[in-house]
A and B are shown apart, each in its own frame.
Chain A
Amino acid sequence: EAGVAQSPRYKIIEKRQSVAFWCNPISGHATLYWYQQILGQGPKLLIQFQNNGVVDDSQLPKDRFSAERLKGVDSTLKIQPAKLEDSAVYLCASSSPRSLRDRENTGELFFGEGSRLTVL
């Protein structure tokens, strides 16, 4: 089966410019996540969608970051205006519906290869 697709893989912009990242999850996966991974750190959750609804966006800097998943399939993460500290890899992940229905937390997320953003 096809994995999680992300684009672009690399993006270089100047501060105060805008950028958008796209993610297409594994077919049939209802849950989609965006993570930010700063160099030398572990991934940090930005936002989680269940179908086209937001489950958790408590860590999303809403003054500059926005994300949508209008049809419950692919998703877009936007940053406007970008700051130097936004330089990071933006990871998209998805998980199957079974992960949420099961009593036990399977915790298996399927990650894309990431979009590396450099802000100059």
Chain B
Amino acid sequence: AQSVTQLDSHVSVSEGTPVLLRCNYSSSYSPSLFWYVQHPNKGLQLLLKYTSAATLVKGINGFEAEFKKSETSFHLTKPSAHMSDAAEYFCVVSPSGSARQLTFGSGTQLTVLP
């Protein structure tokens, strides 16, 4: 069984300040973990993925995430928020070796204030 918990349903930051979106996971297997972003009225887009290589993963648009097995966490960070980062972010877990059975978190809505 696997699950993912996004600890904040809404996060609000000022432009130029750091972003932290928190995700904890539970998996019976060595998991693969992903972050997807969904802009309003747009399809979901892959930001980054962890697949048992380097624990610090860099994604698009300056985002990165660190896989911490001891904490079962995969938090998403960005040093400096931009207005265009305002969107909904989903943490996703999948059993390693399987392209199916992606389990999505409930999402975190990021608001960026001017």
Whether A48 pairs with B100 at a CB distance below 8 angstroms is: yes
- B50, closest chain A residue (CB): A107
Selecting from B13-21, B38-46, B67-75, B76-84, the interface stretch reads B38-46
The answer to the question of B97 belonging to the interface, with a C-beta cut-off of 8 Å to chain A, is yes
A88 within 8 A of B: no
With A112-B43, A114-B43 known to touch, is A42 a contact of B105 (CB < 8 Å)?
yes
Rounded to whole Å, the gap between the CB of A11 and the closest CB of chain B is: 15
* Interface residues on chain A, number (Cβ under 8 Å): 29
User: Which residue of chain A is the closest to B104 with respect to CB atoms?
Assistant: A42
Whether A109 lies near B96 (C-beta < 8 A) is: no
Q: Which of A60-68, A69-77, A95-103 contacts B (4 or more CB under 8 A)?
A: A95-103
Is A120 interfacial (CB-CB < 8 Å)? no
**B34: Cβ under 8 A from any A Cβ:** yes
A104 and B43 contact, CB distance less than 8 A: no
- Say whether A16 faces chain B, with CB atoms less than 8 Å apart: no
Choose among B41, B52, B99, B104 the residue with the greatest number of A CB atoms under 10 Å from its CB.
B99
B111 CB-CB contact with A under 8 Å = no
On B, residues with C-beta under 8 Å from A are 9, 32, 34, 41-46, 49, 51-52, 90, 92, 94-102, 104-107
- Given A105-B97, A109-B44, 18 extra CB contacts under 8 A: A3-B43, A41-B106, A41-B107, A42-B104, A42-B107, A43-B44, A45-B102, A104-B32, A104-B51, A104-B96, A105-B32, A105-B51, A105-B94, A105-B95, A106-B49, A107-B94, A108-B46, A112-B43
